Structure 1
Amino acid sequence: MEEIIRVKSISQLHELMGAEKPAHPLISILDMAALDLGKKWVGIKVTSDLYTIGLKDKECGIEYGRNSYDFAEGAMFFTAPNQVVRSDEEQIAGEDCGWMLFFHPDLIRNTPLGKNIEHYHFFSYDVHEALHLSAAEQKTIIECRDLIQSEITQRIDHHSRKVIVSSLELILNFCTRFYERQFNTRSTASNDIMSQFESLLKDYYTSGKFAENGIPSIEYFAGQVHLSQSYLSDLLKKETGYAAKDHINNFIVEKAKTLLLSETDSISEIAYQLGFNYPHYFSRLFKLRTGFSPQEYRLSSNKN
């Protein structure tokens, strides 16, 4: 099995990267231009217990999961604990390659950010779904980063954690805004993905795959359109107001309404046609979406 190096702490990260001892035990910002990692990290897979926020301000190859990406100027990426990354290019000191902010989950534990960190879906985006910043946006992010850097390098007091975490949350909220802008400015590509998704969903049904393979997963559609699950779901929600799972469930309910108008198929048979192994799961979804059980809907429709 291929070796994967695991980084468990900020201090271990600094040691592995040949950086000075960290000023704070739970958060660090590293200037990549100051590091000379040579060839020893090329092709090495690394996972960690840390969150990462990075900004690459020149082309700098990195691989995340099975996807590779050459970062253009002003591109940000994010990783969460337990994700695997790998660099495909040698990092040489003096090259202007951006910065990376690392923080341990203990930093935000029992804070509002700790409770809401899962809502920042871009920590689950693939590298090729990086956030591309304008010059003004990049300036905003760097100003927030500098607030954190200043706080880290000062004497730590009982206000430090609150200030650092608030600044982190500010960065993430700005990135949420900037990603929405990115969805908007790439509306043609977004509409194309929307069309692909709807076509794939219809084809899955007409080919009998609902009955054969069960309800399709978000992972299935994401793989078909070459996006991560989180990015696809966020893109769909931005364009239509519904996440990918909601689109799938809405499609199922609409098909169910048509099938329920038939007198020949039982509720159980319709449930199996729509990918449910257990009819009561189908009935629960249908009532949740329509306010009627399948049988109540069938009877009320027949009366009309």
Structure 2
Amino acid sequence: MNAPERITSIAMLHKVLGMERPAHPLISVFDFNSVRLKEQTILRSLITDFYIIALKKDCAGNKFRYGQDYYDFEQGIMYFLAPQQVMHFTDILLNDVEGFVLVVHPDFLHSYGLGTTIREYGYFSYSSNEALNLSEKEEGAVMAIIHNIEREVDANMDAFTHDLLVSNLQLLLTYSDRFYHRQFLTSRKANSALLNKLENILDTAFGTASLLESGVPSVQSIAEQLNLSPNYLSDLLRVQTGQTTQQHIQDRLIAKAKELLSTTTLSISEIAYQLGFEHPQSFHRLFKNRTSISPVKFRASFN
């Protein structure tokens, strides 16, 4: 596979897509209808230095991939990419795509709180099969904000322009958070099956006599077994159960620790080592934080 084409500026992206120069060097909104690639031009892969938010309405039956997964754009979906993520295109003519794209360079957010907090929106690192499916009403809300941003970008800059653009971007991200929350709640059947699989994975991991060989499962390894990205899994679990993947793992770890403390004569250090802790102090700290009692006092309660 050829190396992805590196796009270092929004102006460069416009040029690659055969469009006019952007009205602003650090933020741009464009409709796919404005893309003017040469006839039969096919993009294979891109990597950019900026954030991308896109709503794809139709891809003429073709597929688009980022990360390791493909997504069939038969329905309108919204996806988010952070800087340095690779987009792979498989036999897809951008001239056949309908929808919009919003691109924002990190420098545009410099000196604004959003410049830091935008990294906390986990969906910028979701896999393509975890894209946001919008209802007609939700799509209308998104498009209204996009049109606001588009108007501000195209208007003459004044003292309020930058603040208004950042405020609208923040509003768009907040709505996206809300719609993902709805998506987590409405996919109950699929999520129930996923939670069962998660419990089975944890049962297998912590049901062994010793975790020395296999080790405590990581968030990454569990996500891979469930064919999900780590952030998507944790966000889904937080909505469904109130706890992240890491907290679920810690619950099982504490349950195993209680079992060993109450049914064996292993020392605290031996138990800590068996549970994968390099230092007993780390085990002691986690156990007390999660149970409000030290391992020693917990064991003493059974004697």
- Decide: shared fold, TM above 0.5: yes
SS at match of 2:74: coil
Shift in Å at residue 34 of structure 1?
2.2
Structure-2 residue corresponding to 1:212: 213
Distance 1:209 1:27, change over 3 A: farther
Shift in Å at residue 256 of structure 1?
0.7
Structure-2 residue corresponding to 1:285: 286
Structure-1 residue corresponding to 2:45: 45
SS at match of 2:156: coil
Shift in Å at residue 209 of structure 1?
6.8
Structure-1 residue corresponding to 2:56: 56
Q: Which amino acid aligns with 1:47?
A: I
Return the alpha-carbon distance in structure 1 between the equivalents of residues 210 and 262 of structure 2: 22
Within a 5 Å distance, the mapping from 1:182-197 to structure 2 comes to 182-197=183-198
Unpaired stretches in structure 1, ≥5 consecutive residues:
none
Q: Which amino acid aligns with 1:78?
A: F
* Greater displacement, 138-147 / 16-25: 16-25
- What whole-Å deviation, never above 9, does each CA across 1:61-100 have from its counterpart, x for those lacking one? 211011111123321000001111111133253x352111
Structure-2 residue corresponding to 1:163: 164
Q: Which amino acid aligns with 1:6?
A: R
TM-score, L = length of structure 2: 0.94
Return the alpha-carbon distance in structure 2 between the equivalents of residues 183 and 227 of structure 1: 13
Shift in Å at residue 263 of structure 1?
4.5
Shift in Å at residue 135 of structure 1?
0.6
* Greater displacement, 83-92 / 172-181: 83-92
Q: Which amino acid aligns with 2:87?
A: V
Unpaired stretches in structure 2, ≥5 consecutive residues:
none
- What whole-Å deviation, never above 9, does each CA across 1:14-66 have from its counterpart, x for those lacking one? 12211101001111112112213354443x22111110100011135211011
Within a 5 Å distance, the mapping from 1:84-99 to structure 2 comes to 84-91=86-93, 93=95, 95-99=96-100
Return the alpha-carbon distance in structure 2 between the equivalents of residues 169 and 117 of structure 1: 8
Preserved CA contact (<8 Å) 2:205 2:214 = no
Return the alpha-carbon distance in structure 2 between the equivalents of residues 185 and 209 of structure 1: 39
Return the alpha-carbon distance in structure 1 between the equivalents of residues 205 and 192 of structure 2: 20
Preserved CA contact (<8 Å) 1:267 1:295 = yes
Shift in Å at residue 198 of structure 1?
1.0
Structure-1 residue corresponding to 2:236: 235
2:18 aligned with 1:15 = no
- What whole-Å deviation, never above 9, does each CA across 1:215-241 have from its counterpart, x for those lacking one? 211111111111111111111111100
Equivalenced residues, count: 300
Preserved CA contact (<8 Å) 2:206 2:256 = no
Structure-2 residue corresponding to 1:30: 30
SS at match of 1:141: helix
Distance 1:219 1:39, change over 3 A: farther
Q: Which amino acid aligns with 1:28?
A: S
SS at match of 1:78: strand
Return the alpha-carbon distance in structure 1 between the equivalents of residues 148 and 2 of structure 2: 39
SS at match of 1:172: helix
Return the alpha-carbon distance in structure 1 between the equivalents of residues 107 and 164 of structure 2: 15
Distance 1:298 1:57, change over 3 A: same
Preserved CA contact (<8 Å) 1:19 1:35 = yes
SS at match of 2:212: helix
SS at match of 2:111: coil
Distance 1:283 1:151, change over 3 A: same
Identical-pair percentage = 39
Preserved CA contact (<8 Å) 2:184 2:236 = yes
Preserved CA contact (<8 Å) 2:205 2:216 = no
Return the alpha-carbon distance in structure 2 between the equivalents of residues 65 and 254 of structure 1: 35
Return the alpha-carbon distance in structure 2 between the equivalents of residues 209 and 189 of structure 1: 32
2:84 aligned with 1:79 = no
Q: Which amino acid aligns with 1:296?
A: K
Return the alpha-carbon distance in structure 1 between the equivalents of residues 143 and 167 of structure 2: 15
Distance 1:8 1:96, change over 3 A: closer
Shift in Å at residue 262 of structure 1?
2.8
Preserved CA contact (<8 Å) 2:114 2:170 = yes
- The Cα RMSD (Å) is 1.7
Return the alpha-carbon distance in structure 2 between the equivalents of residues 119 and 242 of structure 1: 17
Return the alpha-carbon distance in structure 2 between the equivalents of residues 115 and 87 of structure 1: 30
Runs of 4+ in 1 over 4 A off after TM superposition: none
Return the alpha-carbon distance in structure 1 between the equivalents of residues 122 and 264 of structure 2: 44
